[in-house]
Amino acid sequence: MDRIRIEGGRPLKGVVEISGAKNAALPILISSLLGTGCNVYRNVPDLRDIHSTLDLLNHLGADCRLNAAAHEVTICADGLIHPEAPYDLVRKMRASILVLGPLVARLKTARVSLPGGCAIGARPINLHLKGLSEMGARIELQHGYVEAKADHLKGADIYFDLVTVTGTENLMMAATLADGTTVLRNAAREPEVSALADTLNAMGARIEGAGTSVITIHGVESLHPVKFRIIPDRIETGTFMVAAALTRGDVEIVGCEPGHLDAIIHKLRLTGARIDTGPDRVRVIGPETIHSVDIKTLPYPGFPTDMQAQFMVLMSVAQGLSLISETIFENRFIHVSELRRMGADITVSGNAALIKGVPKLSGAPVMASDLRASACLVLAGLIAEGVTEVQRVYHLDRGYEAMEKKFQALGAAIERVRDG
């Protein structure tokens, strides 16, 4: 298995370009299942999760063509034959559950393996299922699979007990082809949800209110093909912003969407970093002294849980104490034990981590447990004294495109070590 080897201590300097957003691309590629004809998606990041999604769509009978160099994907979903997403494909990527809504809407039947928990939490899908059954689907759980059937999905007034990103996306997709109007209340407001609504509307759907907590979807008969550009990845952007601040560097991050980064920009400024924004760029200049700042993860527009681990590295070398509260996932502190092995002073109690800044971290072999934890360990390696080796890099490859190459171009001493 590949490892990432980093010699810490170099300030990052230069320009880095942001890739398309993984969490926008996944539902958008899957939304092709709702219509016939060929859809073209641009700015699709070349990531393991994208390949897993295309494997799944191919399995369902869609014809997917990836031009990785051009970051372009074409999907023609005329010949859908297979309403089943098998365990082997779903276990690789939880977001596969997003095929459930489109398959029931289009084929009137779907059989999708239950995704199960993962390293960061139990991650049930009860709210996806409750919503679909309120739209008239008959749902059964059998042999580890969700089986859903509905001759006609019908519009419904659905309230989410808690904010769920893929839950909102799944029901929004199902509702585009339902009879009548669906209202999703306490819906997720993430930019990725809005991007999906924009794609669907460009296909002929009638969705209002995406980006707010009440989304109204008027069902339509059918959708037509679309050409759509995937929005920039706000979490990749935030990761490079933290890296710039952490290494006391000076980095211009281009091809991003500063409007999606309010919480991250706000918190980073409080640490002392200087941040200038332009229409599609952000420049971050690291502070001499990093000040400690508390954060609490929340649904958008709150501070993203997907940036919590990276921000914790910054707080590990800040002056003073900081408190990080994780309110989205119940087990998203697995990176803490690895950071401690690098010299960080962190105490966890329930969903809170108290971080006492130390002057420096020291390089060590460390093990990644999930995507964002991997990014956090790479960041820690960038400032640690000596050599850090991050193992299980396949987690990183799920969600960061060419991360080590982007850091190399900014002056970091980082390389991928391929086994064998």
Question: Which region, judged by CB under 6 A, interacts with ligand EPU, from 162-170, 264-272, 285-293, 400-408?
Answer: 162-170
Residue 25's contacts (CB-CB under 8 Å, 6 or more residues apart) are 41, 44, 45, 50, 53, 230
Q: How far is the CB of 372 from ligand EPU (least distance, A)?
A: 5
Q: Is 118 annotated as catalytic?
A: yes
The residue to which tokens 């063509």 are assigned = 65
Site mask for ligand EPU (CB under 6 A), range 291-310, x = bound: --------------xx----
Instruction: Choose between 300 and 357: whose C-beta lies nearer to ligand EPU.
Output: 300
Choice between 36 and 186, CB closer to ligand EPU: 186
Q: What is the dihedral of CA 257, 259, 262, 264, to 10 degrees?
A: 0
Residue 229 Cβ vs ligand EPU, minimum distance, rounded to whole Å: 18
Q: How far apart are CA 117 and CA 230, in angstroms?
A: 28
Q: Are 354 and 321 in contact (CB under 8 A)?
A: yes
Site membership for ligand EPU, residue 328 (CB under 6 A)? yes
Three-state SS for 67? strand
Output 342 or 375, the one with its CB closest to ligand EPU.
375
- Ranges within 187-206 binding ligand EPU (CB under 6 A): 192
Give the integer Cα–Cα distance in Å for 26 and 29.
5
Does 222 bind ligand EPU (CB under 6 A)? Our answer is: no
- Residues in contact with 154: Cβ distance below 8 Å, sequence separation at least 6, in sequence order: 135, 136, 178, 179, 180
Q: Does 363 bind ligand EPU (CB under 6 A)?
A: no
Give the C-alpha distances (Å, rounded to integers) separating 349 from 8, 317, 318: 30, 20, 20
Of 95 and 207, nearer to ligand EPU (C-beta) is 95
Tell me the C-alpha distance between 276 and 37, whole Å.
Answer: 43
Residue 32 or residue 164: which is nearer to ligand EPU going by CB?
164
Q: Which stretch binds ligand EPU (CB under 6 A): 56-64, 65-73, 116-124, 195-203?
A: 116-124
Q: Is 174 in the site for ligand EPU (CB under 6 A)?
A: no
Least separation in angstroms between CB 17 and ligand EPU: 20
Q: Is 170 in the site for ligand EPU (CB under 6 A)?
A: no
Residues 6+ apart with CB under 8 A from 125: 97, 114, 115, 146, 167
Chain-centre distance of CA 401, in angstroms?
13
Residue 24 C-beta: closest distance to ligand EPU, Å: 8
Residue 96 binds ligand EPU (CB under 6 A): no
372 forms part of the interface with ligand EPU (CB under 6 A): yes
What's the min distance (Å) between Cβ of 396 and ligand EPU? Answer: 11
DSSP letter for each residue of 170-213: HHHHHHHTSBSEEEEES----HHHHHHHHHHHHTT-EEE-BTBS
Of 3, 71, 111, 128, the one binding ligand EPU (CB under 6 A) is 128
Using rule CB under 6 A, residue 121 touches ligand EPU: yes
Strand-pairing partners, residue 250, are: 13, 285
Which residues have CB under 8 Å from 279's CB, separation 6+? Answer: 258
Report the distance separating Cα 68 and Cα 339, nearest Å.
34
Stretch that binds ligand EPU, among 29-37, 157-165, 318-326, 376-384 (CB under 6 A): 157-165
211 binds ligand EPU (CB under 6 A): no
Q: How far is the CB of 134 from ligand EPU (least distance, A)?
A: 13
Residue 8 CB-half CA count within 13 A = 25
Question: Does residue 123 touch ligand EPU according to CB under 6 A?
Answer: yes
Q: Binding residues for ligand EPU, how many (CB under 6 A)?
A: 23
How do strand 387-391 and strand 365-367 relate by DSSP bridges? parallel
Task: Answer yes or no whether residue 26 interacts with ligand EPU by CB under 6 A.
Answer: yes
Min dist. Cβ of residue 357 to ligand EPU (A) = 26
Catalytically annotated residues? 118
Interface residues with ligand EPU (CB under 6 A)?
23, 26, 95, 121, 123-128, 162, 164-167, 192, 305-306, 328-329, 371-372, 399
